[in-house]
Structure 1
Amino acid sequence: MRNPQINYLAVFHALPGMVALLTPDLVYADANEDFLRLAGRTREQLLGRYIFDVFPENPNDPAAAGMRETRESMLRVVATGARDTMALLRYDIEDRERPGHWVEHFWSPVNAPVLDADGNVLLIVHRVEEVTELIRARGGPSGSSRAHALEAELYTRSRELQEINERLRRAHARDREVALALQDALLPAPTPVGHHRAAVRYQPAVNNLNVCGDWYDLVDLPGDRIAVAVGDVVGHGLKAACVMGQLRSALSAAARVADGPARALEALGLYARRVEGAESTTVVKAFIDWTTHTVVYSSAGHPPPALLHPDGTVNFLDQATDPPLGARPEHAPRPEATTPFSEGGTLVLYTDGLIERRDEDIDVGLARLSDALVRHGQAAPEALADALLADLLPPAGVTDDTALVIIRL
């Protein structure tokens, strides 16, 4: 049996229940038939118009908060790229047949994002259930009394839920502030690495919880050498920040005594087995030697560093990749590879937030990074770091944090 050709526009308009599509600027892009019918508006009265121009708040109700709560929910969706479910909401609508007359309505809304290939919010799906009849049942005096009691109870409970949601939001915001402060303390601007130029960046995620798993580290070594690392802890928030701090410190110490990046990662892997939450951490370590003009590197499941050559070509250092920390039941030696470089080249290490996007193959992100390096490769490290973040991160931010290290060779 052949797969049927589905007319998704017809499906959208036939959906049971009220569903509308809005742009990130909160302008109506479309609405299904149930939305038009139950909201009492025509398609021409909605499309292309700002939501709160179509549905202003009741000016006769000083306690009305529906417009503010709906706007905040939609803007959260735009900022985070995540679904936002609202508590039961009272939002009165002006009767089009009787201007100035406002009809009481109760709604149960959900706002969800439609994302493009880069993870940007393209549209907001605004689905609402009209529950006024459930709350204000029509009937005789006793039925009306019971309806009013039910209305008061449900409305009180909805306000309590909104208060709980707001307290949780503030708690998450405090966690984010503490986690970012810890991240800032653990990832200071690097001290000079000999006479070589370097730039580092840490870009936190837009989501309150998705911060503090990524780190970087630069270490001066004897001779004209440095060690550089970038890592990513699985998990987010304060716990990930604490694990990150332990692993970063351990690897920084190991790099000073190990005879190469593979041995440093082996030591870190043994240490990580004793740190709760460190399993499946990815990290790449590189030793750069200006005397021999070589980069020796080893990767524990991390995206490959990019090496930009002076002639404008780019290759990814992917010849010494092994599983993440703690992925093997038994300890095993890690691989190591060496690649030459020419003076004037650039080495770029990063975490997956820079290149990975939902529903996109990682090769697409790597190609995007390569193209950006070719375009901006002649810039100094600080300018190059800014250019890469501007080119590769969506304007609305990403849902995973990003660490970036650039070394001019």
Structure 2
Amino acid sequence: MNVTDVDYRAVFQVLPGPAALLTTDLVYVDVNEALLALAGLTRDHIIGRYLFDVFPQNPDAPDATGMRNLAASLHRVTATAESDIMALQRYDVRQFGRQGVWQERYWSTVNAPVLAPDNSVALLLNRIEEVTEIVKADHKLIDGKRAQILRAELSSRARELQQVNRRLRTAHAREHEVALHLQKAMLPEPRHLSHHDVAVRYRPSVGALSVCGDWYDLVELPGGDRMAVCVGDVVGHGLHAAGVMGQLRSALSAASHVADSPAEALDALGLYARSVEGAESTTAASVFVDRLHRTLAYSSAGHPPPALCRPDGSVVFLDEATDPPLGARIEHVPPPVAHMSYSDGCVLVLYTDGLVERRGEDIDAGLTRLATSLTKHHSLGPDSLADVLLADLVPPRGLTDDTVLVIVRL
């Protein structure tokens, strides 16, 4: 057979891959059977129509670049009269007869010029090799590898987190040990105070370090017949709050030795607190007990009121001399002071807010619980009374704030 006898149109029709002939204006001149099968269309739907009317861009994939890249390649072939092999393209195909239904396709495309006798570009040959199944298989393989890599990374991160948790537990244990030493140093058991039985209790909040900003102090004052009973609460927990607490406790103890009243002692403490970082909003209460005259002088800086339980079980709160927390006033104003007489057998109770305050509850409810328990158990000795008060007032799930409790049998 001579070359002139070859039916090239028949050859074009049986090419195994989709192919089309286009004008330089991108209008279809001819297509082979493979392209018709790919598009699911007949020749009448394609011949004489503009390329991108037959294969428009998927409107649900606005970031797709297949149409733009194909147009650029065909225009480049027209301008240069040279073939162009395109990179792999995603080019979705609209399903014939199903409005709005698109199939995801991947094409490997070669565009070649068909030259006229004068070597100008007469037609464009657009040959497509569909590689959708290969690409999807590769995607599955890649996704599988990505999943393996992700699992490996997650496993590595889990090991790193375990190491961090171990280090945190070690650091927490060390801080806990330091906190215990601080607590013993800053909140020692009270010395025996002449003529009085005393009990103190400290209870940390659930989950907190065993040290916080709550403190107490009992100081024998000059003259031998007076003593000061003090409690305070620094905002916050942990070692920093404990350090601030230690400074303020020492300052109040020193001020109490030279002050004529608890108000003067708290006044000096308030001025000192302004120079201590972290001391803002600290609360404190101080009671001077005069054994000779059987009187109490008291003053409070934003602290819950001390309670006095008389021998008959009646309870009165010392709330007639209350000032804002330390450093809360813009201008310096001397704190108030009030006085009350007492008789032998009375019980003086000072505490921090963790004993009586509960979230979502008015503090008066907590003060009522304290008064009720004192009335019921006032005849007990200080140690037994302290244990009973904690049993009555501490919630079943534990304290949400640290608590100091001081009981003095007058």
- Shared fold, TM over 0.5: yes
Q: Deviations over 1:58-77 (max 9, x none)?
A: xxxxxxxxxxxxxxxxxxxx
Q: Which residue of 2 aligns with 1:332?
A: 333
Superposed displacement of residue 305, structure 1: 0.4
Q: Which residue of 1 aligns with 2:11?
A: none
Distance 1:208-1:163 versus aligned 2 partners, 3 A rule: farther
Partners of 1:218 and 1:207 in 2: how far apart? Answer: 28
8 Å contact kept, 1:216–1:231: yes
Indicate the SS of the match to 2:212: coil
Q: Which residue of 2 aligns with 1:317?
A: 318
Structure 2: runs of 5 or more not aligned: 1-138
8 Å contact kept, 1:233–1:282: yes
Q: Which residue of 1 aligns with 2:191?
A: 191
Q: Which residue of 2 aligns with 1:368?
A: 369
Indicate the SS of the match to 1:216: strand
Give the counterpart letter for 1:359 in structure 2: G
Partners of 1:362 and 1:182 in 2: how far apart? Answer: 30
Give the counterpart letter for 1:296 in structure 2: A
Partners of 2:400 and 2:165 in 1: how far apart? Answer: 20
Superposed displacement of residue 371, structure 1: 1.1
Partners of 1:192 and 1:398 in 2: how far apart? Answer: 29
8 Å contact kept, 2:208–2:237: no
Partners of 1:369 and 1:166 in 2: how far apart? Answer: 42
Q: Which has the larger radius of gyration?
A: 2
Superposed displacement of residue 233, structure 1: 0.6
Partners of 1:359 and 1:162 in 2: how far apart? Answer: 37
Superposed displacement of residue 398, structure 1: 1.7
Q: Deviations over 1:334-390 (max 9, x none)?
A: 000001112111010000111111111111111111111112111000111111112
8 Å contact kept, 1:284–1:298: yes
Partners of 1:204 and 1:279 in 2: how far apart? Answer: 21
Q: Deviations over 1:104-136 (max 9, x none)?
A: xxxxxxxxxxxxxxxxxxxxxxxxxxxxxxxxx
TM-score calculated relative to the size of structure 2: 0.64
**Count, aligned residues:** 271
Partners of 1:371 and 1:159 in 2: how far apart? Answer: 54
Q: Which residue of 2 aligns with 1:274?
A: 275
Q: Which residue of 2 aligns with 1:244?
A: 245
8 Å contact kept, 2:297–2:339: yes
8 Å contact kept, 2:354–2:402: yes
Q: Which residue of 2 aligns with 1:147?
A: 147
8 Å contact kept, 1:176–1:237: no
Partners of 1:162 and 1:294 in 2: how far apart? Answer: 60
Q: Which residue of 2 aligns with 1:397?
A: 398
TM-score calculated relative to the size of structure 1: 0.64
Q: Which residue of 2 aligns with 1:265?
A: 266
User: Does residue 231 of the first structure (1) align with residue 232 of the second (2)?
Assistant: yes
Superposed displacement of residue 171, structure 1: 1.9
Indicate the SS of the match to 2:360: coil
* Identity among equivalent pairs (%): 65
Partners of 1:234 and 1:210 in 2: how far apart? Answer: 15
Partners of 2:161 and 2:146 in 1: how far apart? Answer: 22
Structure 1: runs of 5 or more not aligned: 1-138
Q: Which moved further from structure 2: 288-297 or 174-183?
A: 174-183
Superposed displacement of residue 167, structure 1: 2.4
Q: Which residue of 1 aligns with 2:179?
A: 179
Partners of 1:297 and 1:270 in 2: how far apart? Answer: 19
Partners of 1:211 and 1:358 in 2: how far apart? Answer: 22
The root-mean-square deviation of aligned C-alpha atoms, in Å, is: 1.6
User: Does residue 207 of the first structure (1) align with residue 207 of the second (2)?
Assistant: yes
Indicate the SS of the match to 1:244: helix
Matches within 5 A, 1:93-132: none
Q: Which residue of 2 aligns with 1:387?
A: 388
Superposed displacement of residue 209, structure 1: 4.8
Superposed displacement of residue 198, structure 1: 0.8
Give the counterpart letter for 2:264 in structure 1: R
8 Å contact kept, 1:247–1:272: yes
Partners of 1:217 and 1:182 in 2: how far apart? Answer: 15
Partners of 1:377 and 1:256 in 2: how far apart? Answer: 30
